Structure 1
Amino acid sequence: MGKGGRIACIAVPYLWTIGALVAIIFVGIGSTDSDSATLNKLFFMRADLSNVTTVEATRFGDQLLNLTSTAMRNATEELAAALEEAEKASELRDFYNIGLFGYCTGDKEHGKYDVDFCSKPKGSFWFNPLEVWHLNISGVPDLLPTHLQSELKTYQKVSHWMFVSYVLAFAATCLQLLVGFSAIFSRIGSLATTVVAVVATIFMFAASITSTALFVVLAGVFNTSLKDYGVTAQLGGNLFAASWLAAALSLASSVLWLFSSCCCSGRTEARRSSPKSTYNYEKVDVGSGSSTHSGHTTAPAPTFDNTNTAYEPYRHR
């Protein structure tokens, strides 16, 4: 197999690596541009606050306050009052889409979510409801339910490692494309590319697993702790699909890079043939006349002059 076959052998894993890189890029740029309808559909979780104003005060008194202690009752009342105050001051938007580098927000009309603002992209971003919803202006540090506070602290810590995993997966995938050029020339290049591909796959799966588990738990806590305040949460399927697609393509490309390091050497095998002998050693039959031996004509036997018999070493009677 020549160089053409070698190039064809590594073309598929190279294209799959490009696909994984594109998917990772979409994960990163999701919810970063308010003018892009496509990017506005890419988010880890959406917090819907469009029904905050419909929550009646009696619901807090009848359902929530009877299930908590006196201290928690005061915090519950203060949280409800803070949400209503933020809503009246137009500081509380209808929804918040949480992405990897920031969040987007806007208004909800007739079941349609219209994004009109996105925060400035920030590394190791985490969504702080007290800060984003302007609930920390009252001076009460612990407005949110205890269970939600604990989960938000966990989310803050884990989101940092999730962000690092995505960045490392992106960097390793870019390096994989660069090292992949060396795979055109030798199987050693394919082996080096395989090592980089495995590293990228590990970080990609780590990021996808972490983000999925993190936001599944966080959405459940939002729906449990803030449902009675008119706040609900839902997961963003498009961004998770892009993340897991990148992981799947990264894994597939790793397998094919490994295959190309074992096969498709790119060398052209020379045709081996037995060279024809210039000289053939043939048995010559001694006798009169000429005869045929094994398909070859033998030379006639030498004759000697009998007139001179003084010295005839080769004469035989």
Structure 2
Amino acid sequence: MGRAGRVACIGLPYLFTIGSLVALIFAGIGSTDEDSSTLNKIYFMRADLSNVTAAEASNFGDRLLNLTSNAMNNATEELAAAIEEAEKASELRDFYDVGLFGYCEGEKKGSTFDVDFCSKPVGSFWFNPLVVWHLNVSGVHDLFPSHLQSNLKTYQKVSHWMFVAYVLAFATLVVQLLVGISAIFSRIGSIFTTIVSAVATGFLIAANITSTVLFATLVGVFNSSLKEYGVKSSLGANAFAASWLALALSLVSTFFWLFSSCCCSGRTEARRSPVQGSYEKVDFGNGGAASHHGHTSAPAPTFTNTNTAYEPYRHQG
């Protein structure tokens, strides 16, 4: 197989690597641009607050006040006032979509979610409901159920490592495309590319498992703790589909990179054609007569007397 065959052999895993990188990019940049209808549909979690109306906001505050003991303190009063004021001032939006680099918010019209604002993308982002919902009043955090507080702290810590895993997966996929060029010329290049591909796949596995478990847990906690206050949470199918697709394509590319390191050497075997007029072994069987392609000839003459003249053989019919 020649160089063209070698290029064709590594072309398939190269395409799978590009596909994995593109899918990962979409999973990462979801919910970062309010003007993009496509990116607005890519999010890991959605918090729907459309049922928290002005009247509900007052009940929201009253319910949270009842979570404390009979004694009323300044923090609970501030909480009730903050919720009511946030709703009346339209600071509490109908929904919030959480992505890898930030969040988007907007208004719900019937069954349609219209995004009109997205936060500035930042690294190691985590969604803090107290800040985003404008409830960051002193002491308000303590009014949330204990398991919600605990899970928010866990979410804040784990989200950092999830972000790192996604970034490392992206970086190794880019390196894989660069190293993959060397695979055109030799199997050694394919071996190095396979190693990089395996590392990228490992980071993608870690990122996908972490994000899936993290947001599934967070949605469950939000629904169990805040649903009675009009807050409903759900997972975003598109972001997870893009992220897991990136992993699937990376797994396939790793397999084909490994295959290209075992096969498709790219070397062209030189073919030897018989040379006309080449000599072949002469068989002196049958009484010493030499045989050459079915023809016989008399054996070479022997000289008993070097002084005797030699007469060439006569042709005999």
TM-score of the aligned structures, taking structure 2 as reference length: 0.85
Instruction: Give the Cα–Cα distance (whole angstroms) in 1 for the partners of residues 270 and 250 of structure 2.
Output: 37
Would you say 1:200 and 2:200 are equivalent positions?
yes
User: Does structure 1 conserve the Cα–Cα contact (< 8 Å) formed by 2:60 and 2:229?
Assistant: no
Q: Distance in 1 between matches of 2:84 and 2:143?
A: 13
Q: Given residue 222 of structure 2, which amino acid in structure 1 is its aligned partner?
A: F
Report the counterpart of residue 55 of structure 1 in structure 2: 56
Instruction: Assess if the C-alpha contact under 8 Å between 2:58 and 2:84 holds in 1.
Output: no
Asked if 1:36 is matched to 2:36, the reply is: yes
Partner of 2:107: 107
Matched residue of 1:117: which SS? Answer: strand
Q: Give a deviation string over 1:185-243, Cα, whole Å, max 9, x none.
A: 00000000000000000001100110000000000111110011111101000000000
User: What is the deviation of 1:55?
Assistant: 3.1
Contact 2:95 2:105 in 1 (8 A): yes
Q: Which residue number in structure 2 is paired with residue 172 of structure 1? A: 172
Match of residue 15 from structure 2: 15
CA contact (8 A) 2:60 2:83 kept: no
**AA matched with 1:182:** S
Distance 1:141 1:218, change over 3 A: closer
Shift of 1:292: 8.9
- The structural deviation recorded for 1:137 is 3.5
- Confirm whether residue 148 of structure 1 aligns to residue 144 of structure 2: no
Distance change (3 Å), C-alpha of 1:214 and 1:285: closer
Partner residue, 1:209: 209
Is 2:6–2:265's contact at 8 Å kept on the other side of the alignment?
yes
Q: CA deviation at 1:251?
A: 0.8
Query: SS in structure 1 opposite 2:179?
Result: helix
Question: Which one-letter code corresponds to 1:70 in the other structure?
Answer: S
Cα displacement (A) at 1:4 = 1.1
Unaligned runs of 5+ in 2: 311-317
Match of 2:161 in 1: 161
Match of 1:278 in 2: 279
Matched, 1:134 2:134: yes
In the alignment, the residues of structure 1 paired with residue 103 and residue 26 of structure 2 have an alpha-carbon distance, to the nearest angstrom, of: 15
1:237-248 equivalences under 5 Å are 237-248=237-248
Q: CA deviation at 1:297?
A: 3.6
Question: Deviation at 1:27?
Answer: 1.2
Specify whether residues 15 and 73 from structure 1 end up closer, same or farther in structure 2 by C-alpha distance, changes over 3 A only: farther
Structure 1 match to 2:314: none
Supply the AA of the counterpart residue of 2:47: A
Query: After the TM superposition, which of the residue ranges 102-111 and 68-77 deviates more from structure 2?
Result: 68-77
Letter matched to residue 212 of structure 1: T
Aligned residue pairs, count? 305
Distance 1:240 1:292 in 2: 80
Residues 285 and 298 in structure 1, CA contact (< 8 A), matched pair in contact too: no
Offset at 1:85? 2.3
Deviation at 1:37, TM superposition (A): 0.3
Match runs of 1:177-196 below 5 Å: 177-196=177-196
1:70 aligns with 2:69: yes
**1:210, 1:72 → 2: CA distance?**
41
Is this contact kept in 2: 1:50–1:93, CA < 8 A?
Answer: yes
Distance change in 2, residues 1:111/1:78 (3 Å): farther
Task: Show the 5 A alignment for 1:259-278.
Answer: 259-272=259-272, 277-278=278-279
Report what 1:295 is aligned to: 294
1:118 match: 118
RMSD over aligned Cα atoms: 3.3
| Distance (Å, rounded) in 2 between the aligned partners of 1:219 and 1:72 | 31
Distance 1:292 1:81, change over 3 A: closer
* Residues 156-178 of structure 1: per-residue CA shift (max 9 Å, x gap): 00000000000000000000000
TM superposition shift of 1:71: 6.7
Alpha carbons of 1:208 and 1:300: their partners in 2 closer, same or farther (altered >3 Å)? closer
Q: Secondary structure at the match of 1:108?
A: strand
Q: Displacement of 1:77 after TM fit?
A: 7.5
Residue 145 of structure 1 and its aligned partner are, at CA, apart by 2.0
Change (3 A) 1:64 1:292: closer
Question: Does 75-84 or 208-217 show the bigger shift?
Answer: 75-84
> Any idea what SS the aligned residue of 1:97 has?
strand
**Distance (Å, rounded) in 2 between the aligned partners of 1:257 and 1:113:** 43
Greater shift after overlay, 130-139 or 257-266?
A: 130-139
Note if 1:249 corresponds to 2:288: no
Structure 1 residue identity aligned to 2:284 = K
Q: Does 176-185 or 262-271 show the bigger shift?
A: 262-271
SS at match of 1:55: helix
The whole-number CA distance in structure 2 between the counterparts of 1:72 and 1:9 is 74
Determine which structure has more spread, i.e. the larger CA radius of gyration: 1
Task: Give the corresponding residue for 1:93.
Answer: 93
Please state whether the residue corresponding to 2:127 is helix, strand or coil: coil
Alpha-carbon offset, residue 92 of structure 1: 0.6
| Residue aligned with 1:114, SS | strand
